[in-house]
Amino acid sequence: MDTTVKSQAPTGSGTASGLQPFLHDACVVLAAPAVALSRPAGAMRSGADGFFRGDRRFLSRLVADVEGVPLAPVRTGHSDASTAAFRTVLRGVGEQTADPAVTLRHTRTVHADGLRESFEFHNAGPLDVTVPLALSLDADFAAMDDVKAGRRAAPPGVRRADDALRWHWQEWESRLTSTPAPDSVDDEGGTAVRAHYRLTLPPGGRARVDLDCAAVDRDGFPFAPAPTRRVPWSRPRLRVPDHRFPRLLDRSLDDLAGLLLTDPEHPQDTFLAAGAPWFLTLFGRDALWAARMLLPLGTDLAAGTLRTLARRQGTRDIPATEEQPGKILHEVRRTSQLLDEGTTLPPLYYGTVDAGPLWVALLHDAWRWGLAETEVEALLPHAERVLAWMAEHGDADGDGLLEYVDSTGKGLANQGWKDSGDSMRWRSGRLAVAPVALSEVQAYAHEAAVGGAALLRAFGRPDADRWEEWAARLRDRFRDRFWLDDARGPYCAAALDGQKRPLDTDTSSHGHLLGTGLLTEEESGLLARRLASPELDCGFGLRTLETGATGFNPLGYHIGSVWPHDTAIAVHGLARAGFPDEADSLVRGLLAASETFDARLPELFAGHGSGVDTGPAPYPAACRPQAWAAASSVHLLRALLGLEADVPGGTLRVADSVAESWRPLRAEGLSVAGHALSVAVDVGGGVRAETAAPVSAASRRG
């Protein structure tokens, strides 16, 4: 007989209403679009804890107890992104000496459609032991945006069948299968239950309980899981004196595999979800940057990302979603997202100013790294539409610069990568009023116009001259509008406000301008010195905002924190512009930070700096893993090696020197034009590249 009860609110259970749950000490296990979060010892109790699939929570409570026995967690470890193991000692059970006798190894495995929790007890002592295991379980079907915001929404109707561990609400069902079946199941109040097991362990014996959670989703998530055990990139092997670098690279690639999703109608096209748990879906900007950073490992991910976004390219003017002809989207969700009282994003949302230029830049770079000409040519009409959008919609006021404004009053107030509402400000702390023209977006647009022109000319399409001239005019307007002076000399404004006044703050955005062709050599040097200053370089990476600005906050999302991808972009830009020492300092800073985070760099972390802390403090609500943070490890390697491919032009460039502290170095398993690439640097500094690709490996950076 079925019983129907009302659950408590489908939200971050145990979290104060309106407070975002913290994640800094969470154990995160994932296989997109599924993710499990728990306490470090494995229990799912409160806040953001639980098993989610497609932004819906299918298990909100999982706590293992041995009745009457104190449990002592001793270790948590990951074998890869989808598996974690927790080891616990049962204090005083079966012991005849001070040595522990009975232990529990709790293993969690997430797959794209469900979750397996295995509890294996081992008795290493000389006595017979009986273990009274109890599992406390519940499912609340909370939406991810409610969990993230700490909201307590209206309670849903939830049914639990008496003959199974099963919950459902609307289109969702959570089915738990236990092997062996529990000896008994008790109600714990609301929809929670407590399953009891009595396990007997002789000396040397083992006993195991497996719990499988199947997430039944009749509503349908917009994207599908990627094929298991197949990733669209090569696996590099790095040998270098600093052991932190290979460890960061290996862990990052494991995490990236867990973030892969596919376009359901075109399963050959994979892309990277932005991050777990909050952003486990398609974000245009994030997916493009991550794919761009991974180009030295192959072009398949770039191709899948480009095609997935091209299928959803804007075709009409729809103010409610900010769609415009040619525009590349910001994000895709199952349902609308209520971010706060004033911000509501529709499921398909186009509120971004930079995804379009980044799309064209990725297509151009993928072509140079060897993406097949047929694949490039098929995407050129989409590139032409993005370029047209840049000139007609991105530059809405016709001043030759790209700017944004939230036309709905309900969307994102800031629509660059620093999209928090307080990110655009003067040194005085006063916030900028839209429309806002970001410095880095002008650099992306310049790259898109120049790269787009190169593509059009190479494939015999018209308007190459038009876009080169457009880029030249953009350079002139940027130089005229964005440069200003302070006591330290000339520098570049972070943005222009709605009255075209330059924001006078130093920010990490300087790094996005370097190596893009927007700046002269002298201008690049001025910004390189700013990036190397202690106001921005905190010793663990780049602060997003200078320390001298009013409102600087080391734990501010975009106003003082450090974002690994942001630092990696600056590293690459500094290396391309000819400032290896400044780049090297930032590389070492991120490697130092990686030790604090067990080689799993988070979305962002605090910007207090190495002068204050021996390791960076976490930003408590940051995603970890995050696609572009993980992909940054490859971008750092590319910058260190000076890798620049031009397969159509028949050249592969490598650095003419690598700092002595990195020697000897060997990177194998890279890829260019579908062929293996290795780069070696000997103790004396000699650089050698080897590949079977149709390019010259002898070219050096000048």
The interaxial angle of helices 580-596 and 627-641, nearest 10 deg, is: 140
Lowest mean pLDDT among 141-145, 283-287, 560-564: 141-145
**Token pair for residue 592?**
């130092």
DSSP state of 436: B
**Token pair for residue 494?**
């972070």
306-329 pLDDT tens trace: 999 999 999 999 999 999 999 999
DSSP state of 98: S
Handedness of CA 514, 519, 525, 531 (dihedral sign): negative
Q: Are 282 and 222 in contact (CB under 8 A)?
A: yes
190-215 pLDDT tens trace: 889 999 999 999 999 999 999 999 99
pLDDT at position 701 is 40
What's the pLDDT band for 342 if we cut at 50, 70, 90? confident
Helix, strand, coil percentages, rounded to 5, for the chain: 25, 30, 45
The mean predicted confidence, pLDDT, of the chain is: 93
The CATH number that domain 2-217 falls under is: 2.70.98.10
Q: Which CATH architecture has domain 224-641?
A: Alpha/alpha barrel (1.50)
% residues pLDDT > 70 (the chain): 95
Whether residue 699 is predicted with pLDDT greater than 90 in this model: the reply is no
- Backbone angle region of 18, left / alpha / beta, with phi > 0 → left and psi within -120 to 50 → alpha: left
245-266 pLDDT tens trace: 999 999 999 999 999 999 998 9
- Going from N- to C-terminal start, the domains of the chain cover 2-217, 224-641, 642-702
Average pLDDT over residues 392-411: 94
Average pLDDT over residues 222-241: 93
What's the pLDDT band for 702 if we cut at 50, 70, 90? very low
Average pLDDT over residues 576-597: 97
DSSP state of 6: E
pLDDT at position 157 is 65
Distance in angstroms (rounded) separating the CA atoms of residues 9 and 30: 25
Whether residue 533 is predicted with pLDDT greater than 80 in this model: the reply is yes
Question: pTM above 0.85?
Answer: yes
52-105 pLDDT tens trace: 999 999 999 999 999 999 999 999 998 899 999 999 999 999 999 999 999 999
274-318 pLDDT tens trace: 999 999 999 999 999 999 999 999 999 999 999 999 999 999 999
